[in-house]
């Protein structure tokens, strides 16, 4: 199954549903990094360092990061 990092704007019920399907989901809230206004680059770097797929509703910012 997938290793997922859920950004703080991603639904917690959706994260729970992914867990029920067998995915390894880590949320920003669980890392203690919620409400810290972390730059998107740092959020992505954390996901990469943990070998996790980043899920977010903040698509526009991360599309720009991917393009860069």
**CB 52, CB 4: distance < 8 Å:** yes
pLDDT digits (tens, 9 = 90+) for 31-45: 988 788 888 889 889
What's the gap between Cα 6 and its chain centre? 3
Residue 50: pLDDT band with limits 50, 70, 90: very high
Which residue's entry shows tokens 């910012």?
61
The model carries a pTM of 0.86
**CB 35, CB 10: distance < 8 Å:** no
What's the gap between Cα 8 and its chain centre? 7
């Amino acid at each position: 199954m997938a290793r997922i990092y859920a950004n703080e704007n991603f639904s917690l019920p959706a994260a729970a549903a992914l867990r029920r399907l067998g995915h390894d989901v880590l949320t920003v809230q669980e890392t203690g990094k919620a409400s810290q206004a972390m730059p998107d680059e740092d959020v992505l770097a954390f996901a990469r360092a943990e070998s996790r797929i980043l899920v977010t509703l903040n698509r526009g910012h991360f599309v720009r990061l991917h393009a860069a």
